[in-house]
Chain A
């Protein structure tokens, strides 16, 4: 059966080629992951110190004139008519359930509030495609900055969100991204950015002790800060910055998660290819052997017929 062995051989070859590719992608992702994780961990300090300031501001004696645009950021809106969600997904596929998980965390919220009332800002091509096809209201679509060296790519988005919220075009701003826990575990999260809440927000964990980063001091209720130049100018400067920090941290966590998700996906693909190749080698050997046996049988039968 020479034709059968040839088929098996071709198939074996193609599996081995695929395996080489997935193996290479695994190694590339591993290297990228190391970089992305490092960046995410280094920023956590900055990020938690920034939140510490916001926390203490909320706790301190803070009051605003009713016309002040920054007042909104510190009040919980009762009637939420419109929500904006920033969703961090990947630009490319082949990373397991990474993107699906993000979409899945957003969907229940969208269903609860109605598609019309939730607009989504996607970062990453995959998310844009997935959410448009689900008929969600995608307002802006951005590409994700895969090798983020600084926060340049999220500055504009932070500004847009700040403006939208202060102009009352939206009542709540949430961020959906993958929180990097370890190389094999990433948790998709949906957290509130505006208005500021005392509950855990973007990037903050209940179990902060388990994460590296700064410990923050609680402020006493009676604390009164000095504000320079003044409260309003300061907060108008500070709030968009806080949003930038949040989005930047979410971007880095997403990057780290994406690369590790891809690494794991590629590793299991390589493993599966190896298993398949091993099985096929057996099939190939059997086919070859049965071909030889048959040929010998034919030859000796032919000889028996002649003599």
Chain B
């Protein structure tokens, strides 16, 4: 089976650096699946669930925004955060998402930087919640 190299890194650490058969992820333009020997590509990663297929098994990850680059059969994903569903504390994520949503809704005026940061955090929490609901049994 043909494989491609997936490098999933966050500023804090390297999460994943192994050969996989395919990677499914959200980009600015919609969901895409990257197969081995994909053409060189640069795109923007949206917060959501990234699924890598390794030896026939799906490996899910909740990722926050970032950038992706495909080159030379290596898919580099620079994500702000990435977590396996088993590592996520669902209750905490839900509470946090609720708090963030309230914070955004309650403010009459918000400067753009704060808004962006809050929005980014909210999207991240939602991605985490989604990942847990879909993958944890």
Instruction: Enumerate chain A interface residues (CB-CB to B < 8 A).
Output: 39, 42-43, 45-46, 49-50, 52-53, 56-57, 60, 150-152, 155-156, 159, 214, 217, 219, 223-229, 233-234, 237-238, 241, 245, 248
Contact = CB atoms under 8 A, between A and B. Distances in A.
Contacts of A155: 113, 117
Contacts of A219: 71
Given A46-B78, A49-B76, A150-B11, A57 B42 contact: yes
B37 interface: no
Contacts of A237: 44, 67
Contact of B69 (A42, A53, A224): A53
Nearest to B30: A228
Given A226-B42, A227-B43, A42 B67 contact: no
A39 B27 CA distance: 28
Question: Which of B14, B42, B71 has most chain A Cβ within 10 Å?
Answer: B42
B71 A234 contact: no
A235 to B, nearest CB: 9
B41 interface: yes
A167 to B, nearest CB: 16
Contact of A233 (B11, B28, B41): B28
Contacts of B67: 50, 53, 237-238, 241
Question: Which of A43, A156, A248 has most chain B Cβ within 10 Å?
Answer: A43
Interface of B: 7, 9-14, 27-29, 32, 39-44, 66-67, 69, 71-72, 74, 76, 78, 113, 117
Contacts of B74: 217
Nearest to B41: A226
Contacts, number: 86
Contacts of A217: 71-72, 74
Nearest to B32: A228
A151 B66 CA distance: 14
Given A217-B72, A219-B71, A241-B67, A225 B41 contact: yes
Contacts of A234: 42-44
A228 B10 contact: no
A228 B27 contact: yes
Contact of A228 (B11, B29, B78): B29
Given A53-B76, A229-B43, A233-B44, 17 more contacts: A39-B12, A45-B9, A46-B11, A49-B78, A53-B67, A57-B42, A152-B117, A155-B117, A217-B71, A217-B74, A225-B41, A226-B42, A228-B27, A228-B41, A233-B28, A237-B44, A241-B78
